[in-house]
Amino acid sequence: MRFPGTWMTQSESVVYRVVPKCACSSIGQIMYYSDHGQFFDGDIHDAEDGLHKWSIDESRETIRKNVTQHQSYAFTCVRNPYTRILSSFFDKICGIQRNGRRYRGNMVPMLIQQYGIEVGGPDGTEDFDQIRSFRRFLLFARDTIVFRKPMDADIHWSAVSGHVSTLIVNGGRYDKIFWTEKFNDGMRDVLSQIETPVLVDLDEIPRFNESEGHGPKRAHPVEDYFDDLSMHLVYEIYKQDFELFKYDPFDPSNKMPVGEIDLDEVHAKLGD
């Protein structure tokens, strides 16, 4: 049984399934702080100690045993598909990454050549038609997710339900799934259900947005990026995300959930 993207505090107070572009940096730092009384110095994704991660060989058996026996409270965090895919575009496609280079090497030049997108010049600071380029990127994202061409879908724009499902299909169960859009409420619920070595005061915790500043600023309201065709593509790609996590597929301007997440429904539909 494999649990990719799963993090757990060293004290085993809580288990978290990482979902890219869904407040994962803030959640990881809160988990780290809850064990050590300080934040990790750097991007929490780079931490190789102080936190159990499935990507660390020495942590795998500990995580596997804990999750399959449901020894700790397990949770994850989800996000509106419209804002998530838009964030992925500005961060991963238009932005310069922490290493000073474009994301995934030759992917962006390929997108420029094959899909005709613009990304704001060599450093992402030049003006360009953000709406036109985003809609062309959306075609590329659809191609990678639906047809797996010209490459497999990237974790930053593959469906949230796909990430969430890996813990379920391998024998785990979530105690809580909350929305990025109601982060404080959701994280406070999680913290109220667990005992941590260090008390966490959410009101005193900064937000860690490691992708902030990578790319150009969004120049328009969210809804301006999605015409009728774009909305159709987003629904085609993320239909299960809209349905399971209760977001509105018909109004890109409404980032808030429109219903309550039914954990039994999530486990039933993602556990096949």
**Number of domains, the chain:** 1
Q: What pLDDT, in 10s, does the model give residues 134-188?
A: 999 999 999 999 999 999 999 999 999 999 999 999 999 999 999 999 999 999 9
Quick check: is 129 in a domain? no
Quick check: is 125 in a domain? no
Q: What pLDDT, in 10s, does the model give residues 204-240?
A: 888 887 555 567 889 999 999 999 999 999 999 999 9
Quick check: is 44 in a domain? yes
* 115 pLDDT above the threshold of 60: yes
Residues 6 or more apart in contact with residue 125 via CB below 8 angstroms: 216
Quick check: is 229 in a domain? no
Quick check: is 264 in a domain? yes
Quick check: is 33 in a domain? yes
The β-bridge relationship of strands 51-53 and 73-78 is unpaired
Torsion on CA atoms 215, 152, 117, 157, rounded to nearest 10: -40
Domain that holds residue 2: 1-100+155-216+238-272
Identity of the residue numbered 145: I
Q: Can you tell me the distance from the alpha carbon of 144 to that of 261, in angstroms, rounded to the nearest whole number?
A: 28
Quick check: is 258 in a domain? yes
Q: What is the pTM of this model?
A: 0.94
Quick check: is 80 in a domain? yes
Phi-psi sector, 215: left (phi>0), alpha (psi -120 to 50), beta: beta
